[in-house]
Structure 1
Amino acid sequence: MKQVAGQETFKDPKASKRQKAKHLKNEKIKSSLSKAAEGHELLIPKQDSKGKRGIQCPVCAKIFKCRSDYNRHRVTHTGEKPYRCVECGKSYSDSGTLTAHQRIHTGEKPYECVECGKRFNRSGTLKRHQRSHAGEKPYKCLECGKSFGRNSILTAHERTHTGEKPYKCLECGKSFSRSISLNRHKKKHAQAETPECAECEQGLSPKCVECGKGLSPSQLLTAHQIIYTGEHGSNHVKLWRVERA
Structure 2
Amino acid sequence: SFCPFSSSSKSKLAVHESTHTHRDKGRYKCPACSQVFRQKDCLLAHKKFHAREKPYKCGTCGKRFSWESTFSRHQNVHVDLKPFKCASCPRTFKLKHNLTKHLRRNDCSEADVWEITDGDERPFKCPSCPKAFREFHHLTTHKITHSDKRPFKCSTCPKTFHFRYELSEHERVHSGEKPFKCTLCEKAFRTSGHFASHRLVHTGEKPFKCPTLP
**TM-score normalised by structure 2 residue count:** 0.39
Structure in which a larger fraction of residues adopt strand: 1
Greater relative contact order structure (CA < 8 Å, 6+ sep): 2
**TM-score normalised by structure 1 residue count:** 0.34
